[in-house]
Structure formats: structure tokens, C-alpha cells
Amino acid sequence: MTARHTSALEALLVDDGFDGDVYPAEPMARHTMYRIGGPARFYVQVHSVGALKRLIAVCDASAVPWEAIGRGSNLLVADEGYSGVVITLGRDFRTCRYDEDTHCFCVGAGVPLSSVVQEAFRRSLAGFEFAVGTPGTVGGALRMNAGSREEWIGSRVVSVTTLSPETGLVRRDGDKIGWGYRTSSFRPDEVIVECELSVEPADPFFIRGKMEASHARRKKSQPLSLPSCGSVFRNPEGASVGALIEEAGLKGLAVGGAQVSDVHANFIVNTGDATARDVLELINLVKTKVYETYGIELQPEVRFLGFA
Ligand SMILES: Cc1cc2nc3c(=O)[nH]c(=O)nc-3n(C[C@H](O)[C@H](O)[C@H](O)COP(=O)(O)OP(=O)(O)OC[C@H]3O[C@@H](n4cnc5c(N)ncnc54)[C@H](O)[C@@H]3O)c2cc1C
């Protein structure tokens, strides 16, 4: 470290040997599907496991908070931004290879989930039709156990490899990981780096039919023309949260530029100039009204970053 650098973190980030791209004070609105969010102290795209390892080790040693994200499709970032390091996965985490013997894709966590869907379709392999139109990366999908009501990615996982400052690289079988409704058992300090996903050969017409049905359902029922984070709340046991919000008369309710969608009541859309504060206020308003109407306490599915 030279005297010009005030911290070990800054020294690492300007090191010519560091295999990553560094963006100081990067507006997170550029990296979330909500198009909302103030600056991250550093936004870093790492291109190798080595760089990721160095970065999280230095952050931990310097007590700088960090968070790995994917495409920000399930993320609300505070207007004030995030005082730590936002990490995304570049080059070496963006490979996807199919093993014909095991019928598995070996996929980097930075690969878009849509690429897996398309590659499976191209090879007449079934298993990922449910994910048609789900934005985000494979890493984000695993963390969230993304899926539909009937199917989710966890049930397709043969193994996952993660990196954490405490344990280093660890590979775990899929059945050793806890998969719940939009939850998984990964620890907050674990970065998902790669996984093996199982598929099975099938009739291409069957696959195409399922994909088209999934796409049509989404197009009809979701407000895809406005920025959002997908479903804001998790469905309570045995109920549809969209129906609960709609029947409570909350469709169209707005705070600033944030609005409960007219198309799907469990989507809060950014109508143009919404702030994170608008979205959060609206989330809390919907929670309160649903509680007053049904006595049900809604739990958010959206993840928050940078809020006190
Ligand atoms: C229009 C729209 C439709 C959607 N439809 C669906 C749907 O049908 N089903 C569904 O389940 N979801 C849906 N979503 C929500 C979202 O797309 C999923 O949750 C997606 O899997 C998140 O992926 P991401 O890469 O964008 O993750 P991010 O939003 O970037 O992050 C989500 C969480 O995962 C963590 N994370 C991300 N990458 C990693 C990593 N490599 N290692 C460790 N943690 C990581 C983040 O820290 C964060 O906590 C929808 C969203 C939108 C905007």
C-alpha cells in the first residue's frame, strides 16, 4: 500500500493486477430494474474467483460492508445509496457448458437465467420452461429460489459452489441446501459462483408449448412496460397476495412516482420518477391496509440495500 491510498481497499482497487472493473460512487439506478438507487461507494465487477477472493477478504479485514448482486431485478436500493462495495460477477462467471453424460448444465452465477432457458430449448432439453421471462442471473435465481407457483430452480440443482471469506470455496450437493418458497439457506456472506443444473431430453414441441404458455401468462398478467422488481410481497400460505391487495381496493394507489400496478396488484411500478422512499412508503401503506383488512402480515419478497 502506498501513502496515496487511504485504505487497503482503495489500494487493491487501483492495483493493476486486480482482475476487475471498478466504478467509484456508481449510481445504483443504473444497475437495478427499478431504475432507482443512489451511489454505491464502489461498484466492482470481478472477472475471476481470485479477484473475488481478494476483494471480499480486504472488505472483511477493513470492516467495509459488501453485497454480491446480479441484475438487480429483485432489489430496492436506498436513495442515499450504499456505503459499501457492490460486487457483480463478470467474465469467468459467465460460462455455460452442457455435459451430455450427466444431463447437466455447469453454469457460472453471472450467466443470465434466460440464457439457460434458451440453451436448454436449443438442445431440446426440458426443465427450465418455468423460468421463461424471469429476469436476472443464475446466482440471483439460486439465492431467491426463483420460480413459478409450481416449479422453482432449487429442484433442478445438482450442486452449488460458493465462496465466503470464512470457508473459501465450498461445493455442496443440491439436496444439502435448504430450498423454500423464494428462500434458500445460503449465508449472507456466501457468494454463489457456479452451479450444476439438471435437465432431461424431451420433445421440442412439448418444451416450446410450455414456454409459450408461460410467456403468454406473464404477458397477460404482468406490467412489463414499466420498471419494477417483480412480485413485491410473498404469497401468504394458501392465498394469492395479488388478489388480497386487489380486493382491498389498492390497485392504482400511488405515492410519488410509485404505484400499485393496475395490471397486477403485487407489482409496484416506477411510473417515471419514483424514489426508493416512494416505493418504501407505498410498501408500508399496502402492508398496513392489508393487515387492517384481513389481519394478515405481508412479508416482502423484494430485497433491500442501503436502508438503515
Ligand atoms: C418483470 C419481473 C418479473 C419477475 N418474475 C419473477 C418470477 O416469475 N419468479 C421469480 O422467482 N422472480 C421473479 N422476479 C424477481 C427476480 O427476477 C428474481 O428474484 C431473480 O432471480 C433475481 O435475480 P438477480 O440476478 O436480478 O438478483 P438481484 O436482484 O441482483 O439480487 C437478489 C438477491 O440475490 C442476491 N444475489 C444475487 N447474486 C448473488 C450471488 N452470485 N451470490 C449470492 N447472492 C446473490 C442479492 O444479494 C440479493 O439479495 C421478477 C422480476 C421482474 C422485474
For 59-94, write each residue's pLDDT tens digit: 999 999 999 999 999 999 999 999 999 999 999 999
Does ligand 1 have an atom closer than 6 angstroms to the CB of 161? no
Note down the domain range covering 301.
226-305
For residues 116 and 93, give the distance between their C-alpha atoms in angstroms, rounded to a whole number.
14
Residue located nearest, by CA, to atom 1 of ligand 1 = 230
Q: Is residue 3 part of a domain?
A: no
Per the rule left: phi > 0, alpha: psi between -120 and 50, beta: everything else, 27 is: beta
CB count, 10 Å around CB of 209? 12
Residues 135 and 61 in one domain: no
pLDDT digits over 208-254, tens only?
999 999 999 999 999 999 999 999 999 999 999 999 999 999 999 99
4, pLDDT greater than 60: no
**Ligand 1 centre from 19 Cα, in Å?**
25
In a domain, 58, yes or no: yes
Residue 269 near ligand 1, beta carbon < 6 Å: no
Co-location of 77 and 129 in the same domain: no
Task: Name the grid cell of 20.
Answer: 476487475
Closest residue to atom 5 of ligand 1, CA basis:
134
Can you give the pLDDT at residue 149? 85
89-135 pLDDT, tens digit per residue, is 999 999 999 999 999 999 999 999 999 999 999 999 999 999 999 99
Max Cα-Cα span within the chain: 64
Residue 207, pLDDT > 80, answer: yes
Residue 2: the pLDDT is 44
Distance between CA atoms of residues 219 and 30, nearest Å: 25
Query: 183 and 240 in one domain?
Result: no
Distance 145 CA to ligand 1 centre (A): 9
One domain for residues 176 and 132: yes
Q: Answer yes or no: is 71 within a domain.
A: yes
Across all residues in the chain, what is the average pLDDT?
Answer: 96
Q: Are residues 52 and 105 in the same domain?
A: no
Query: Which one has a higher pLDDT value, 265 or 4?
Result: 265
CATH code for the domain in which residue 14 is found: 3.30.43.10
- The residue written with cell numbers 417483480 in the block is 230
Domain boundary among 33, 57, 91: 91
CA distance 66 to 191: 11
Number of compact structural domains in the chain: 3
Are 170 and 242 in a shared domain? no
Which residue, of 91, 125, 148, is where some domain finishes?
91
Same domain, 173 and 73: no
Instruction: Please list, in sequence order, all residues whose beta carbon lies within 8 angstroms of the beta carbon of residue 82, skipping any fewer than 6 positions away.
Output: 28, 37, 38, 39, 40, 41, 65, 67, 305, 306
Whole-model pTM: value is: 0.96
Q: Tell me whether residue 1 is in a domain.
A: no
Do 116 and 65 sit in the same domain of this protein?
Answer: no
Q: Is the beta carbon of 109 within 6 A of some atom in ligand 1? A: yes
Q: What is the whole-number distance in angstroms between the Cα of residue 217 and the centre of ligand 1?
A: 20
What residues act catalytically? Answer: 182, 231, 301
Kindly report the CATH number assigned to the domain that includes residue 268. Answer: 3.90.78.10
Q: Is 53 in the pocket of ligand 1 (CB under 6 A)?
A: no
Is residue 197 classed as helix, strand or coil in its secondary structure?
strand
Q: Which of 219, 234, 255 is the last residue of a domain?
A: 219
pLDDT at residue 5 in the model: 57
